[in-house]
A and B are shown apart, each in its own frame.
Chain A
Amino acid sequence: MITAVRKPMEEIIACVAPYDRILLVGCNECVSVCSVGGRKEVALLASALQMHFLKQGKTMDIKEITLERQCDPEYVEELVNLTDGADAILSMACGCGVQTIAGRYREKPVFPAVNTTFMGASERQGVWSERCQGCGDCVLGITGGICPIARCSKRLMNGPCGGSSNGKCEIDPNIDCAWQLIWDRLKALGLERRIEDIMEAKDWRTSRDGGPRKIVREDLAS
């Protein structure tokens, strides 16, 4: 899922302070699952903002709505009758949702209430870790299911480096060395010989080096 964290209230407050009527829009997908931008968080933020402004002697009109998916035009269309009554839109979705709204409702200022952080997986309740950087040419099949790009601090394709010690990365003793994990997993699979195969320099054009990416599925798009 795409993970995010709420921005500091000070920053959110500064964004919405010039306005009187805010449309606060959550998203029912990833940001709901990582407890940052779903219906509950929308309600919490609406109350927090209204309580803050009441203390300043200002009544802030906040309409709350949580869309099924903020990165899909069909769902963002649901805001069509609500934007007129708002001076600005505050989104609790990831950057994709914020931009879908900004692209559709061009005449309204749109602000993000969260910092979109990474593509990750849930380790346990309340803990998420980065797992994929969307490189566009997945190597998990040869690295024992552990991503060296998202999980090795140096994105080494042929690790480990000399900084790996006791299974931890030199960057932080709380971070597992991805290449240790890869080694352990390959060993468990009886494939440890693979660690000696040199991976060629990665072609980063499938990643961001090729500019903003786009997927066009002719069978669906036509």
Chain B
Amino acid sequence: MTKAFEPEIVAFCCHYCAYTAADMAGSKRLSYPANVKIIRVPCTGKVDPIHIMKALHKGADGVYVAGCLEGDCHFKTGNIRAAHRVRRVQALLEEIGWDSRRVEMITMSAGMGERFAQTAREFTEKIRELGPSPVSRAGQEAGRQAVS
């Protein structure tokens, strides 16, 4: 029997907003999918296209960058830079024939525990619909070949 597809998702979360919002979601006992693996960053401006691409290259089915609401960045424009970089990665994905929806920029404030949980659910659902990424699909096939 084929195992149901459980997407691997990497979320780069800013310490000052999304990461705190994730904490709040936890303390409010709001559930969000275990598929989402959080990487805390000091500011989303720290996230380079290479981090997003390497995550996808190493098998993540989707990656999102969660930063502060526009105008609220602790370092002024880190979230705006991050949004540009996400767009750059999306354009690169299009160029190599990948679905650019696998990468997204999301914004929220530290108090938005509900929004954190909701966006985590929504993004996971979206990736579930898109199916395994070409890398994880190749990995599964390699795995299948190895046992047969």
**Which residues of A come within 8 Å of B, CB atoms?**
8-10, 13, 40, 43-44, 47-52, 54-55, 57, 59
Contact = CB atoms under 8 A, between A and B. Distances in A.
B53 A47 contact: yes
B48 interface: yes
A9 B53 contact: no
Contact of B95 (A8, A40, A47, A55): A8
Contacts of B49: 44
Q: What is the interface of chain A mostly: helix, strand, loop, or mixed?
A: helix
Contact residues on B (Cβ < 8 Å of other chain), bracket: 10 to 19
Most B Cβ at <10 Å: residue of A43, A44, A50: A44
Contact of A9 (B50, B92, B135, B138): B92
Contacts of A47: 50, 53-54, 56-57
A40 B134 contact: no
The 9 closest A-B pairs by CB, nearest first: A55-B134, A52-B96, A9-B95, A47-B57, A47-B53, A54-B138, A48-B96, A54-B134, A43-B50
A43 B54 CA distance: 9
B98 interface: yes
Contacts of B143: none
5 contacts: A10-B95, A40-B50, A43-B54, A51-B98, A55-B98
Contact of B135 (A40, A49, A54): A54
Given A9-B96, A47-B53, A54-B135, 12 more contacts: A9-B92, A9-B95, A43-B50, A43-B54, A44-B49, A49-B96, A51-B56, A51-B96, A51-B135, A52-B96, A52-B97, A55-B97
